[in-house]
Structure formats: C-alpha cells, structure tokens
Amino acid sequence: MADKLVYVLNGPNLNRLGKREPEIYGSQTLDDIGAMLAERGRALGMSVAMHQSNHEGALVDWLHEAEDSGAHAVLLNAGAYTHTSVALLDAIRSIKVPVIEVHLSNPHTREHFRHTSWIGMAAKGTIAGFGAQSYMLALEAAAGL
C-alpha cells in the first residue's frame, strides 16, 4: 500500500523559527519540525511534503497542488495570513482535501486581532497552543481521516 501524502504548508516568518520570539514559538526550527513529522509520518504510513513561503500566492498554489496530486490531507500553519487572507480561505474551499489548521501558540491568548481565523472558517479542524507538538497532533488527526 502506498504512503498517504500529507502536505505541510507554512506561511510567513516560519522560516525564522528557533530565532524568532522563542518565548512564544519555541526553540525548534522548521527543519526540526519537518524531521519529526517525516519520522512520525513513516510510522503512520504517511509521507510528508513540507513547504514554507513568505508569499501568500505560493501557499494558494500548494493548496491547489495538494488537491491535484491526490494528497490525503494538508496541515496549514498560515502564520499571520490566518487572520487576513480571504485568498487562502477561498483556496481551501476550492479543494476537497481536508485542511487542518495548525498553530504553535494559542492565538486566543494573544493580541485581539489574532482571535479571528479566516483559515478556520474552512478547515476541518484546528490544533493550537502546543508548540511543535501541534504539528504532531495534527499529523495524528490527519492519519485518522
């Protein structure tokens, strides 16, 4: 049986993990998280395609690509685009692949503008506030879909 493909999409500034505000986002880098996901994915019979961009359109393109490639699920940490991007909302609504919204921190404990998630309006579910473990929990959820 072929591995189930899971896209893991990361938005703006997530390339700075490990350096950027470690008191909020932790000390692990995105590469560290990717390695953890790849290892756990193998155990779950899943392969992980990890992407990061600071550009909204690239995230839209990867959402479309996930659909076109027959991906099993998408884990999406859209970063600040979570709270601003109608384009990502529309892209999620345009595909059938389930999208799980992921956040390292808990947006509801932060600034008021972070309390609204455009991504969450179309996502299958949201996992937030557990640091890098949020990604692992989301991968487990994807495996169960």
pLDDT score, position 28? 86
pLDDT score, position 43? 96
107 near 136, Cβ under 8 Å?
Answer: no
Rounded Cα distance, 78 and 13, in Å: 10
AA identity, residue 125: G
pTM of the model: 0.92
- Which has more pLDDT, 25 or 36? 36
pLDDT score, position 50? 98
pLDDT score, position 22? 67
33 near 77, Cβ under 8 Å?
Answer: no
Which structural domain range is residue 87 located in? 4-143
CATH of the domain at 93: 3.40.50.9100
Tell me: pLDDT of 109 over 80.
no
pLDDT in tens, 42-87: 999 999 999 999 999 999 999 999 999 999 999 999 999 998 999 9
pLDDT in tens, 135-144: 999 999 999 9
AA identity, residue 108: H
Q: What total number of domains does the chain contain?
A: 1
The strand ranges marked E within 30-70 are 46-52
What dihedral do alpha carbons 15, 17, 20, 25 form, nearest 10°?
A: 140
Is 25 tagged catalytic? yes
Is 81 tagged catalytic? no
Q: State the catalytic residue, choosing from 25, 72, 81, 135.
A: 25
pLDDT in tens, 28-43: 899 999 999 999 999 9
Q: State the catalytic residue, choosing from 7, 72, 103, 135.
A: 103
